[in-house]
Amino acid sequence: MSLSTRYNATETETKWYRHWETAGYFHSTPDEREPYTILIPPPNVTGVLHMGHMLNNTVQDVLVRHARMQGKNACWVPGTDHASIATEAKVVQLLRQKGVRKSDLSREEFLEHAWAWKEKYGGIILEQLKKLGASCDWERTRFTMEPSLSRAVVHVFTDLYRKGRLYRGRRITNWDPEAQTVLSNEEVVYREENAQLFHIRYVLQDDPGNYITIATQRPETIMADVAVAVHPEEEKYRHLVGKQVLIPLINRAIPIIADAYVDRSFGTGALKITPAHDQNDHAIGQRHGLPVIDILTADGKLNDQAQILVGQDRFAARKQIRRLLEEAGCLEKVEDYRTNIGRSERTDAVVEPRLTQQWFLRMDEFARTALEAVRSGEVRFFPENMWNMYYQWLNEDNVRDWCISRQLWWGQRIPAWYLRTTEGRWTRDGEEVPFVAEHAAAALEQARVATGRPELTEADLEQDEDVVDTWFSSWLWPISVFDGFERQDELAYYYPTNVLVTGWDIMFFWVARMIMAGYEWSPALLGNASKGTMPFRDVYFTGMVRDNKRRKMSKSLGNSPDALALIDTYGGDGVRFGMLLSGSAGNDIIFDAPIDSATNTVLNESKLCEQGRNFCNKMWNALRLIKGWQVADSPQGTVEALAVAWMSARTEQAVAGLQPLFDQYRLSDALLSLYQLVWDDFCSWYLEMIKPAYRPDGTADALDRQTYEATVSLFERLMAALHPFLPFVTEEIWHQLRERPAGQDCMVAPYPTAGPVDLTLVRLVEVARQAISEVRNIRSNKGISPREALTLQVRESATASQLFDQPGLQAMISKMANLDAFERVQEEPQGVLTFLSGTDKYFLPLATAIDTAAETERLSKELEYYRGFVASVEKKLSNERFVQGAPAAVVDNERKKLADGKEKIRMLEEALQGL
């Protein structure tokens, strides 16, 4: 026997992945089969594999492999996202380490660096996915910034502009002073932090002895104040409305105004109005026709407008102005308080509300479409209740226009050109006029027409400096991966995709927007409204992977185990098992894997992955057992025949239950049912039933060929059923079981479908198993060795004969319970151990005298339980309304329970008398 007692995952997994890839099983091209399509949520091109990826990619792979084995044309498209802000931030950081500042580089030079970096590190994550067994069609790998996908972005931008759904606006936006770009609302993360509330006195211009006190968290912005606002109904301030106060330190006069927005109970009830640096203040400023004074630079420093502390960073300025205010006697008090601070999702910089000119996409119509898609059930959510969150964001009260421009270089540049003039950009009605087109040449035409100046050349145009939000390219993913804007052959076959598997955290960023884009463009592209609709039929939302303190796993917390280290330890199969079994759709996953934050290595073993690894080893050893048997051309015994029939029935039963679970994406339940089928039914019972006996002299009996073949077939069937979950170990065992011609791999075998199930046999064996367990239990309690053979007697009865007339069953019980004799008796023997199993009564005569007192107690306890049980059933049945109201089947069942219970009581009473 050459097989090791331990299953070697690493070696096996590398071997089979290469084999599958070489065989071309991952690749899909359109044909006459039904397609089954999944698009990977593209990870950041520079990312590394983390637990979240492992989870959702495992789920995707299970679904894809299952579909493939079902004979569908399975296509799993992989790819990466250029992740504009995250990647640019990384490149900037890298350059800084080399002593190069972004501002020293031209756009072209910077992009050269970025592309070089992308080429070097990009796609590592895809290589890592292979270790998990991901059966992606690697020939289809896409990148959101490759030419075709970028052209799609430009096309869509111009299309939307033409449709009047894009506009430019000067708004208060979320500014990231670190990355120096605007952010969408979704990219700002609010967290409660410690802050201070400064109470500052503004003296009245014409009455220097009096003042009004405002409370602010941002004293460094007082130089940008244009008013102080109070509530119109606030008595204590009413007399001040209309008066002028002086901003401390710079003594600029500003009015006191009344506005109902002011919360009278917060702070002092007086609010400083700073339209340039606060969204609400900006709104108030507009209502009252106030000016806007911007005192901050793009990188968060005070500018000339501030008059004082010019050039200081906003946080340094806050410290200094506190001192200045104190010296000036304007600082009444400073109190600590907790407030929500918004930070950039990518750079963690405190977000600065800032007035900037940006491109926005109108969302009202898109939102209605996206809501209707899910409301109508065209797109189904798993779990369903994710609809609530979805609705919350998309309903008309909450949805906001999408700010899609970003002041970055890494990304698709906005296809808008402006006409350069000596006074700056050409304007109409005081507004810059963008010429939006797919190419500069087309924009030039527009410019010539608009201005009536045919002599203009492209040199007179300058392109918008900004790029679009990354999600403005990702929302096209379901169409653009098939180059759907340029040719529709593949789109027509693969679209709509079957299921999207992703975390609920990007429901708004991505899922909702893909639905919008799908409905917006696919009908026209496919020229067929019945096919061109939703981008995917189902959305499976995975939970967030959290640590054992329920914190989201993140690099900054250092609580995420190294995904590759986990695979090295437990194998790809082991990790897949752990991921799958740890949670159902939508539920967060507590992944208990303490790690050493210093070395980032797994210290304690992660229990679920360990369980997966152990399972692989269990199956491996079952293989070793079977392969070690001698096989003879002898007739099949009754025990073996029974065992094969029973295991076949159990397998059919389990297989029949799988499809509904797949349909509902209940993958953990499906895996668990197979786990139990393999471990309990196949290994612990079936293999033990047919295991040839060993003789004391070391030789072993042979197994008949028929049983051996049946066993191999059963094992094979189990491997096929398990393959989508644990592809590597199943493929290995599949090949160890039989010599197979090339191309007959488990991965491409037909997925098992259920045949007829012999439920009677399953029930009979179940009863026998209970009896066997009883004997083992008594052995355990009495300290009788499993090797000591016992005699078992069963009282003849209607059910007992049904049971034991089954050929092979008595012999099977004898083998499994290690009995030297199994007898059917008419009379109740005296002085023996008695137990009930089902409604049959068994006796176990032991060599040693039984402990009568202990037996009396045990039987009495059992008797007491059944008396109580019978009493409760009788009560139920004597209730007229129950008998009348409950379904007949339920009542009948209660009657059977009553009869069985009474029979048990009778037998127990008998047994007590016999002691």
Preceding omega of 383 cis (within 30 degrees of 0): yes
How do strand 545-546 and strand 589-590 relate by DSSP bridges?
parallel
In whole angstroms, the minimum distance from the beta carbon of 5 to RNA comes to 4
In 3-state terms, the chain is what percent helix, strand and coil (to 5)?
45, 20, 35
Q: Which helix (H) or strand (E) holds 345?
A: none
CA dist list (Å): 22 to 19, 37, 576: 5, 21, 23
Closer residue to RNA (CB): 15 or 487: 15
The residue assigned the tokens 């098939």 is: 482
Closer residue to RNA (CB): 59 or 589: 589
Single out the residue of 663, 536, 553, 549 nearest to residue 53, CA to CA: 553
C-beta of residue 470 within 8 angstroms of C-beta of residue 463: no
Q: What are the beta bridge partners of residue 361?
A: 166, 402
How do strand 497-503 and strand 536-542 relate by DSSP bridges?
parallel
How do strand 244-246 and strand 253-258 relate by DSSP bridges?
antiparallel
Catalogue the long-range contacts made by 156-161 (C-beta closer than 8 Å, 24 or more residues apart). 156/472, 156/476, 156/485, 156/517, 156/521, 157/414, 157/415, 157/436, 157/468, 157/472, 158/415, 158/436, 158/437, 158/438, 159/521, 160/361, 161/416, 161/436
Instruction: Give the pair of three-digit tokens for residue 621.
Output: 């050893």
In whole angstroms, the minimum distance from the beta carbon of 507 to RNA comes to 8
In whole angstroms, the minimum distance from the beta carbon of 673 to RNA comes to 10
Closer residue to RNA (CB): 531 or 876: 876
Closer residue to RNA (CB): 452 or 698: 698
In whole angstroms, the minimum distance from the beta carbon of 253 to RNA comes to 20
In whole angstroms, the minimum distance from the beta carbon of 773 to RNA comes to 4
Closer residue to RNA (CB): 119 or 880: 880
Closer residue to RNA (CB): 61 or 278: 278
Instruction: Give the pair of three-digit tokens for residue 584.
Output: 């159902």
Q: Which helix (H) or strand (E) holds 797?
A: none
The H helix count followed by the E strand count for the chain is: 29, 36
In whole angstroms, the minimum distance from the beta carbon of 534 to RNA comes to 22
In whole angstroms, the minimum distance from the beta carbon of 655 to RNA comes to 15
How big is the CA angle at 136 (ends 133 and 139), to the nearest 5 degrees?
A: 130
Closer residue to RNA (CB): 688 or 709: 688
User: What is the rounded distance in angstroms from the CA atom of residue 460 to the CA atom of residue 455?
Assistant: 10
In whole angstroms, the minimum distance from the beta carbon of 588 to RNA comes to 6
Preceding omega of 496 cis (within 30 degrees of 0): yes
Single out the residue of 52, 135, 41, 76 nearest to residue 498, CA to CA: 76
Positive or negative torsion for Cα 470, 474, 479, 483:
positive
In whole angstroms, the minimum distance from the beta carbon of 331 to RNA comes to 15
| Residues near 475 by beta carbon (within 8 Å), at least 6 away in sequence | 510, 513, 514, 516, 517
Q: What are the beta bridge partners of residue 257?
A: 229
**Phi, psi (deg, nearest 5) at residue 538:** -125, 150
In whole angstroms, the minimum distance from the beta carbon of 384 to RNA comes to 9
User: What is the rounded distance in angstroms from the CA atom of residue 682 to the CA atom of residue 648?
Assistant: 10
**Phi, psi (deg, nearest 5) at residue 176:** -100, 105
Closer residue to RNA (CB): 546 or 723: 546
In whole angstroms, the minimum distance from the beta carbon of 329 to RNA comes to 21
Closer residue to RNA (CB): 19 or 624: 624
Closer residue to RNA (CB): 482 or 682: 682
Closer residue to RNA (CB): 492 or 898: 898
In whole angstroms, the minimum distance from the beta carbon of 4 to RNA comes to 9
C-beta of residue 499 within 8 angstroms of C-beta of residue 478: no
The string of DSSP letters for 420-436 reads: EETTEE-EETTEE--EE
In whole angstroms, the minimum distance from the beta carbon of 407 to RNA comes to 21
Closer residue to RNA (CB): 15 or 607: 607
User: What is the rounded distance in angstroms from the CA atom of residue 794 to the CA atom of residue 192?
Assistant: 71
Closer residue to RNA (CB): 399 or 447: 399
The SS3 of residue 621 is: helix
In whole angstroms, the minimum distance from the beta carbon of 83 to RNA comes to 19
Closer residue to RNA (CB): 190 or 315: 190
C-beta of residue 595 within 8 angstroms of C-beta of residue 564: no
In whole angstroms, the minimum distance from the beta carbon of 493 to RNA comes to 34
User: What is the rounded distance in angstroms from the CA atom of residue 574 to the CA atom of residue 783?
Assistant: 37
Closer residue to RNA (CB): 414 or 544: 544
The number of C-alpha atoms within 13 Å of 285 and in the hemisphere containing its C-beta is 23
Residues 617, 618, 623, 624: what is their CA dihedral angle, to the nearest 10 degrees? 70
CB atoms within 10 A of CB 888: 8
The SS3 of residue 834 is: strand
Q: What are the beta bridge partners of residue 704?
A: 632
The residue assigned the tokens 């096996």 is: 12
In whole angstroms, the minimum distance from the beta carbon of 832 to RNA comes to 20
C-beta of residue 592 within 8 angstroms of C-beta of residue 582: no
In whole angstroms, the minimum distance from the beta carbon of 393 to RNA comes to 5
CA dist list (Å): 160 to 117, 166, 435, 483, 515: 33, 6, 13, 19, 16
Closer residue to RNA (CB): 75 or 183: 183
Closer residue to RNA (CB): 435 or 540: 540
In whole angstroms, the minimum distance from the beta carbon of 230 to RNA comes to 9
User: What is the rounded distance in angstroms from the CA atom of residue 663 to the CA atom of residue 658?
Assistant: 9
Closer residue to RNA (CB): 101 or 549: 549
Q: At what angle do helices 9-23 and 563-581 cross, to 10 degrees?
A: 80
